[in-house]
Structure 1
Amino acid sequence: MKPFHFKKFSIKQSKDVFRVGTDGVLLGALVNIENSQRILEVGSGSGLISLMIVQRNPVAIITAIDISAEAVKLSDENFKNSPYSERLNCFEADFKHFAGVEKFDLIVSNPPYFEENDSSKDVIARQQTSLSFENLIKLSAEKLKIGGLFSVIIPAEFGDTFTQTATENKLFLNRKVTIYGIKNSKPKRLILEFGFEEKEMMMSELIIEKSPRIFTDEYLKLTKDFHLFGK
């Protein structure tokens, strides 16, 4: 597969690893990185989100994990070929068995979200066969520092149940970004940000396209430091 080129790094892709997509770009661009130095990405895939975060945050040191050996190999290669290689590490690990006493300022994930089905395409990356939402939330609560943030992008229809499960694990919704694929459509994705402190929630919206393949000004502005639009 052809690599995907961004302004400051390129992503080599593989048919066996979930490809560069809008979800990853949105989370990489929108996740709150303020006051976050030690960061964990759960499910590195190609390494896109981690690379976007270290480009945005010059002090970030990221540990990325993935259960897929192929994904770890790909992420590691993309990390090493980037200008940020010294601040990025990737390991093959199941989050359910992720060892270590370190806690993180930020845990970020574009998690699997389709229930198990008969499709073999992206079976690990896009089905809850290896890491359920419940496990992701519970384990993130254990690995997060006091004052830290847990941020995900998920389909809009799962927002209420995800938030309820997080609350049951003492993680409170601090920020919600509702994302629309196209103007006047139903919500497509949510970026949700949780912390241990219960406080007033920040809410915003983002529309990706004005019409098919015509991006909104707000999306172009959001991704201007990354995408090579028009090149």
Structure 2
Amino acid sequence: MSKYALFQFKEFSVNQEKCAMKIGTDAILLGAWATSSMENPKVLDIGCGSGLISLMLAQRFKDAEVTGIDIDEGAFEQSKENFMNSPWSNRLDAQIGDFRTAAFSTSFDLIVSNPPYFENALKAETKERNLARHTDSLSLHQLIEKVSKLLSNDGTFCMVYPIEALDEIISLAELHQLNISDLRIVHHNAHKKAKRLLIALQKKAINNKIEGKPFYIRANHNNDYSEEYQNLTKSFHPFL
């Protein structure tokens, strides 16, 4: 078992040795932040990897049914194992497939994704890591277009993505009749430029224009986790 294999959270553990992409802050932020107007939404996790975000949402929404899909066989096997070993195995379902062509028999009230986003970067040594990192397997346009078809009328799509793509996301959302309901601009700390955004999109009309709110992972004075990060993730991190 590799040094990257097991990650222990408060109510579940995640084995990740079969996954090309390991657990990172992006996934933890999305799993803790993703919002839904439903008390127990029907959830879809696109590119679920180890299943971390699916597990976080199963913990947060006590009766929600959660489906995780990934194109990579190793990730599928890993998420399936992690689901089976969790307290919510009866509400979690792992599927293998290409989201672009996968058929679903239902709409979803909450769709989440920590998708691949490298476009013209140097490729990795393995096919699995390339699938997890690069937009060759799922472009932003393909993602938002299909999400708009799968989202229920009162549903929400939540995603973490590089800040540079914000204008493109806004354009694609408008094209597919989705509206921004929440937007957080993620900084390492107040002295660092933002690199990521957390964005929530809905079909429902939003009366007020949504302005991006800054979110700081680390505090300025000592580089410990910020109070807002701790408050967001304290139900999961064993050391918070």
Q: Normalising to structure 2: TM-score of the pair? A: 0.91
Q: 2:214 aligns with which of 188, 205, 218?
A: 205
Q: Which residue of 1 aligns with 2:229?
A: 219
1:44 paired with 2:51, answer no
**Structure 1 segments (4+ residues) deviating >4 Å:** none
Give the paired residue count.
Answer: 230
In 2: Cα distance, 1:175 partner to 1:106 partner: 14
In 2: Cα distance, 1:85 partner to 1:33 partner: 21
How far the C-alpha of 1:116 sits from its partner, in A, is 4.2
Higher strand share: 1
Gaps of 5+ in 1: none
C-alpha distance after superposition, 1:7-61 (max 9, x if no partner): 1101101264211100000000000033052111110101000100111110210
Does structure 1 conserve the Cα–Cα contact (< 8 Å) formed by 2:109 and 2:151? yes
In 2: Cα distance, 1:14 partner to 1:187 partner: 30
In 1: Cα distance, 2:211 partner to 2:122 partner: 38
C-alpha distance after superposition, 1:63-108 (max 9, x if no partner): 1100001100000011111101111001001111111331111111
Calculate the aligned-residue CA RMSD, in Å.
1.6
In 2: Cα distance, 1:45 partner to 1:167 partner: 29
AA aligned opposite 2:55:
L
Q: 1:26 aligns with which of 26, 29, 35?
A: 29
Gaps of 5+ in 2: none
How far the C-alpha of 1:202 sits from its partner, in A, is 6.3
SS in 1 for 2:130: coil
Q: Which residue of 2 aligns with 1:163?
A: 170
The aligned runs of 1:42-121 (5 Å cut-off) are 42-120=46-124
In 1: Cα distance, 2:80 partner to 2:105 partner: 23
Residue identity over aligned pairs, in percent, reads 37
In 2: Cα distance, 1:45 partner to 1:16 partner: 6
Does structure 2 conserve the Cα–Cα contact (< 8 Å) formed by 1:174 and 1:202? no
In 1: Cα distance, 2:202 partner to 2:37 partner: 13
In 2: Cα distance, 1:41 partner to 1:157 partner: 23
Does structure 2 conserve the Cα–Cα contact (< 8 Å) formed by 1:54 and 1:84? yes
In 2: Cα distance, 1:110 partner to 1:97 partner: 18
Q: Which residue of 2 aligns with 1:172?
A: 179
Higher mean alpha-carbon deviation, 7-16 vs 209-218, is at: 209-218
SS in 1 for 2:174: helix
Does structure 1 conserve the Cα–Cα contact (< 8 Å) formed by 2:37 and 2:154? no
In 2: Cα distance, 1:137 partner to 1:54 partner: 23
Q: Which residue of 2 aligns with 1:195?
A: 202
SS in 2 for 1:220: helix
C-alpha distance after superposition, 1:116-136 (max 9, x if no partner): 433215211111011000000
Q: Which residue of 2 aligns with 1:9?
A: 12
How far the C-alpha of 1:203 sits from its partner, in A, is 4.3
In 1: Cα distance, 2:36 partner to 2:168 partner: 25
SS in 1 for 2:133: coil
